[in-house]
Structure 1
Amino acid sequence: MSGPEFLNASYLRSRADDVWRRCRSRPPPQPELLIRASEMKNVSHQMSSILEMQFFKQLSSSLIFLNNNLTWCPVPKVASSSWARALLGLDPGLAPAKLFLQATLRTLTRPVKPEAVSKAVRSSASFLIVRHPLHRVVSAYRNKLELSYAAHDGEYFYKNYGSLIVNKHREMEDVHLYKQIEAHWDDFSNSFLSVSGSKDNAAQITTRVSFKGANRTNIEQKIFGILKWKQGILDSKKLHEIPKEYLFRDPTFPEFVQYLLATDIEKYDEHWKPIYLYCHVCQVRYKYIISYENLQDEVSAFIKHLKVQGILAQKFCLSNENQSGTSADVVQRYLSLLSAETRRKLKQKYERDFDLFGYT
């Protein structure tokens, strides 16, 4: 399947139907609010109904109900910014938004009462876009936690997640090592971080640094690895331009993964919450599901269908999503930092997304 001529909306609809069948044959655990609602049925029907409405109110806050019979679950890190920007462009009265696109878009949405959410999803052209779970995890980490000082919402994510992850999941040996590197940062930035930076540079510098009770060869290798990694993720930026107080304040990817493994998925931030749980695909039935891995072709077919149906205006135009930032090669670089056992456990956290959406 190599182009939009081989795709049509029925293909995307059949994928959504497959997901619904999998939900019925192997249902995932119910959301906590629905479990409590079920438990209360024999005690207080009124309280059970209240809890159920709370769930649908929560779901309603995740969805965007557009006036032209279109319902979208905007999964973070899955082309959501591109869609929000394009949908905003349909309203000439709205100024172009650079930040908080989805919040701005909600000014266009039609109100839907909690008890009508499920019906609204079923009766409209409801859709979501799915992505390989581990690719999405890596993308979320890189965008929200890796270089928080440079992101527009970086301080929020550092305060609410990054600093807590570091405090709980950073090994004391690494804390000491990072402090030593920061204390001798001028030596590192002037010597190691030159274009010809090498293990020899690291060896020369570590002779002037005290690492208590540590094997110096291992320390040299670790320093070389740490700084080369950071140099690699900065692309065109220079590592020595980062203020040294920001060098190691953010969690590493393995530290972030340890946090994910230790945290209940219902408590995950929306940027790394499993898609099935964020959009509640087993509680409400969506009509179309698009794959991020075949995004351009599938979106083209979907938009063409919506225009034919009169759901989207002919002028609607979706800019191509930049998928080069977190490519498959980049994802593998990050996953290679994890042990096989840790990767297995991480995959278990997202097993329902793997199962429901057909990923391996």
Structure 2
Amino acid sequence: MQWHSTKLLLALLLVLPYVVLFTAYCWWGEDQKHVSPAIQRSAALAPRTPAAQRRGRHLASYCNSHAHLRTGRQSSRDIMVSRPHRLAWCKIPKVASTSVVQSLLKVLGCENLIEELGISGQHTALRRLMPHLSADEQPPDASTTFMVVRHPFLRLISAYRDKIATKSGKMVMAQFQKFRRLYNMPIISKYRQQEPHDKFYKDVPTFPEFVQYLLETPVEDYNEHWRPYHVICRPCDVPYNVVLKLESLDEDIQTLVFITGFPELAISKTHQSAAVIDEGLELRRASDLQSNQHPENFSTPPMENSERREHRSNDSIELKSDESSALIKNFFSQLTTAQVWALFKKFEIDFEMFLYSIDQFVTVAS
């Protein structure tokens, strides 16, 4: 009898851990029913490495050692805030801004606006839904404040192609006329030394002419599409804890989704491929344009559907390395080494804040 009791006791001791584990699992399953679906889904996207957060810490460290960059002003029309979601984003044109706008509209429960409004209407709607901080207002407690950057010089190429040198399509033509009046004709009037044979450039500054304008203009007076990041977003006044890069967006966006719990922030690459380049436009070199070659030797920018041209997709997703290399060569080979270094000085703070290199651009310069 005593032997049987001992065997029963041993059996119970062996079974008891499994009973405890099973009960705990059931209780955990019940608890999960009350967890936000957004948190459940974002957990599956846990990042392998918090590079985007490391950049935020680097930014804070950089600002601590460059106290002169602090202005004491946190209010900016480009820093949009959702107080209920404890979420803030600094909008930088030419860096996936439309993709982020559409993602934030989803977070706010206004996905219908993406279908109902055009690109510009979506941007306007988000400013209304996420008003910027007032002059004396602090960011929400425990908030996620993020920004998206790309290589400053690649953004500059994008801005030149999109705002200065694009004039085909009905919807784009109105924008071109605006930039023609504000920038193109003043730049041409001041910096053009010889008329190019290519008629396309009659009212379009060449890339070297555009760069020369940048070199002689204070960065505070730049248009928002080529204004430096540190001027737009004031990162030494506003604590950004997440900095995403267009070059590593797939990985960085996982970090953002994971720490915010909003899977809607996962930017979908819905726009036309970034590989699409204005054929012929980037191949027009300054030396060719001022040579005696006949204009028929040059191709003209292709006409595109106006709806597609309303928003250029080369800003929505990262370029492949061979594509970005082609852009760098085609544009920066038109500049002298001295011009590239002078341009670097204009954007030096951005290069240092966000850890970008100038090497490839200097290499191709003439």
Query: In the alignment, which residue of structure 2 is the partner of 1:14?
Result: 54
| From 77, 93, 96, the counterpart of 1:79 | 96
Query: In the alignment, which residue of structure 1 is the partner of 2:226?
Result: 272
Decide whether the 8 Å contact of 2:98 with 2:123 is kept in 1: yes
| From 114, 119, 136, the counterpart of 1:99 | 119
The residue matched to 1:115 in structure 2 has which SS?
coil
What letter corresponds to residue 166 of structure 1 in structure 2? I
Change (3 A) 1:354 1:122: farther
The residue matched to 1:19 in structure 2 has which SS?
helix
Change (3 A) 1:121 1:249: farther
Residue 306 (structure 1) shift? 2.1
State the Cα RMSD in Å. Answer: 2.4
Decide whether the 8 Å contact of 1:122 with 1:285 is kept in 2: no
The share of aligned pairs that are identical, in percent, is 27
Matches of residues 187-266 of structure 1 in structure 2 within 5 Å? 247-266=201-220
Residue 80 (structure 1) shift? 0.6
2:133 is equivalent to residue 112 of structure 1: yes
- In structure 2, the gaps of 5 or more residues are 1-44, 276-313, 358-366
Query: In the alignment, which residue of structure 2 is the partner of 1:43?
Result: none
2:140 is equivalent to residue 132 of structure 1: no
Matches of residues 1-360 of structure 1 in structure 2 within 5 Å? 7-8=48-49, 10-27=50-67, 29=69, 34=71, 55-57=73-75, 59=76, 61-66=77-82, 67-89=84-106, 90-92=109-111, 94=113, 96=115, 97-100=117-120, 101-110=122-131, 112-116=133-137, 119-120=138-139, 123-150=142-169, 151=172, 153-171=175-193, 174-175=194-195, 178=196, 181=197, 247-307=201-261, 312=262, 314=263, 317-320=266-269, 322-324=273-275, 325=314, 327-328=323-324, 329-360=326-357
Show structure 1 runs of 4+ deviating over 6 A: none
TM-score by length of 1: 0.65
Distance in 2, matches of 1:353 and 1:111, equals 23
Decide whether the 8 Å contact of 1:148 with 1:158 is kept in 2: no
The residue matched to 1:161 in structure 2 has which SS?
helix
Distance in 1, matches of 2:119 and 2:133, equals 25
Deviations 1:264-307 (A, max 9, x none): 01111111111111100111111100111111221133224322
Decide whether the 8 Å contact of 2:103 with 2:267 is kept in 1: yes
Query: In the alignment, which residue of structure 1 is the partner of 2:22?
Result: none
Distance in 1, matches of 2:212 and 2:140, equals 36
Report which structure shows greater RCO (CA 8 Å, sep ≥6).
1
Distance in 1, matches of 2:146 and 2:69, equals 22
Decide whether the 8 Å contact of 2:90 with 2:147 is kept in 1: yes
Decide whether the 8 Å contact of 1:127 with 1:286 is kept in 2: yes
Residue 28 (structure 1) shift? 5.1
Distance in 2, matches of 1:264 and 1:347, equals 14
Decide whether the 8 Å contact of 1:148 with 1:157 is kept in 2: no
Decide whether the 8 Å contact of 1:16 with 1:288 is kept in 2: yes
Distance in 2, matches of 1:63 and 1:274, equals 15
Query: In the alignment, which residue of structure 2 is the partner of 1:223?
Result: none
Decide whether the 8 Å contact of 2:78 with 2:132 is kept in 1: no
Decide whether the 8 Å contact of 2:100 with 2:265 is kept in 1: no
Larger of the two Rg values belongs to structure: 2
Change (3 A) 1:143 1:121: farther
- Which stretch has the larger CA shift, 292-301 or 335-344? 292-301
Change (3 A) 1:278 1:121: farther
Decide whether the 8 Å contact of 1:121 with 1:285 is kept in 2: no
Residue 340 (structure 1) shift? 0.7
Change (3 A) 1:348 1:355: same
Decide whether the 8 Å contact of 2:187 with 2:210 is kept in 1: yes
Alignment length (residue pairs): 257
Residue 123 (structure 1) shift? 3.7
Residue 260 (structure 1) shift? 0.3
Decide whether the 8 Å contact of 2:98 with 2:119 is kept in 1: no
